[in-house]
Structure 1
Amino acid sequence: MSQPPASAAVQRAEAVKDQMLQHDAFSHWLGLEVQEMGPGYCRLQFRVRPEMLNGFGILHGGVAFAAADSAFAFACNSHGRQSVALSATIDYLEPGRPDDLITVEAREESLKHKIGVYQLRLTNQHDTPLALFKGTAYRTSKEVL
């Protein structure tokens, strides 16, 4: 049985993600794999590697923040207008461990003409919440594609 064609908005979100990833060496270096895209939504995963650990042998907070920031960027640009972060905060709940499979899920909470607000959740393979990230984006008038 064939699946119905993706909506134009989902197709645009996928095209924006593809365009962004072509030029995003940092997300590639982190090993981020986008699992699902949609308008105002992104879910990605990455595996915790030894070089991502801090001096206590747990996931460095900067790596968790960077992965969330990438998911935030994919979600807020998914509508096709270039968006940039105005602010971002993160609350760390539990440490990531070596070889954890981290899932980062970004959801749009509010979208206005110039501002978008996003909530992100980072979890491990046991669905344990590791961090909560909130990002506010400024939406420029420039089209991504």
Structure 2
Amino acid sequence: MTDEIRDARTVSASMHGRDRVAHAMGMAIDAVAVGSATVSMTVADEMLNGLGVCHGGVLFTLADTAMAHASNAGDERTLSTTASIEWIRPAMVGERLRAVSAVVERRGRNTIHDIVVTNEAGDTVALVRGQTLTLGGRVTQEG
């Protein structure tokens, strides 16, 4: 295992340990490296909207979490500045969803990410494009 992967996992674990929303939604960090991350969760009853499908905001939160882990894996504080989502197909209760975030372009402190959310059959559920701004300072907390 390279030091970069080990460090990215340490940073991700530190972030995830403090992320109450991700824990409440049952998210798991499946893979992380500087500039990429995979986050998954299973759609639960309490995530359904009034039409009986996974709420769009829940899908956005999953994608945003993947982008957060991808952008902060280098242990330099980075926040989202903008993002847009295209909902492709509904996600149903019990489906395991996976969000994969990857860097598309870096320009100074600004980075553009594409995030693809798929279901367990491999069908695309949502596409997200987001931008982050690196602020500096460490993500991990000492002591």
Normalised TM-score (structure 2): 0.94
4+ residue runs over 3 A deviation:
none
Tell me whether 1:28 sits opposite 2:23 in the alignment.
yes
- The whole-number CA distance in structure 1 between the counterparts of 2:81 and 2:102 is 17
Return 109-118 or 19-28, whichever deviates more: 109-118
Which residue identity lines up with residue 123 of structure 1 in the other structure?
Answer: T
- The whole-number CA distance in structure 1 between the counterparts of 2:14 and 2:108 is 23
Tell me whether 1:65 sits opposite 2:63 in the alignment.
no
Superposition pairs of residues 16-95 of structure 1, within 5 angstroms: 16-95=11-90
- The whole-number CA distance in structure 1 between the counterparts of 2:128 and 2:45 is 23
Q: Secondary structure at the match of 1:99?
A: coil
Q: Secondary structure at the match of 1:118?
A: strand
- The whole-number CA distance in structure 2 between the counterparts of 1:77 and 1:68 is 14
2:116 is matched with 121
Which residue identity lines up with residue 58 of structure 2 in the other structure?
Answer: V
Which residue identity lines up with residue 23 of structure 1 in the other structure?
Answer: R
* Shift of residue 116, structure 1, vs aligned partner: 1.1
Number of equivalenced pairs:
140
Q: 1:10 aligns with which of 5, 8, 13?
A: 5
Tell me whether 1:141 sits opposite 2:123 in the alignment.
no
The alignment-based identity, stated in percent, is 24
Structure 2 residues not aligned, in runs of 5+: none
Which residue identity lines up with residue 81 of structure 2 in the other structure?
Answer: L
Which residue identity lines up with residue 107 of structure 1 in the other structure?
Answer: A
Q: Secondary structure at the match of 1:81?
A: coil
* Shift of residue 141, structure 1, vs aligned partner: 2.1
- CA contact under 8 A between 2:44 and 2:93: conserved in structure 1? yes
Q: Secondary structure at the match of 2:135?
A: strand
Q: Secondary structure at the match of 2:93?
A: coil
Q: Secondary structure at the match of 2:137?
A: strand
Give the alignment's Cα RMSD to 1 decimal: 0.9
Normalised TM-score (structure 1): 0.93
- The whole-number CA distance in structure 1 between the counterparts of 2:112 and 2:24 is 27
- The whole-number CA distance in structure 1 between the counterparts of 2:22 and 2:110 is 24
Cα-to-partner distance string for 1:8-34 (whole Å, 9 max, x where unaligned): 211121111011012111100010011
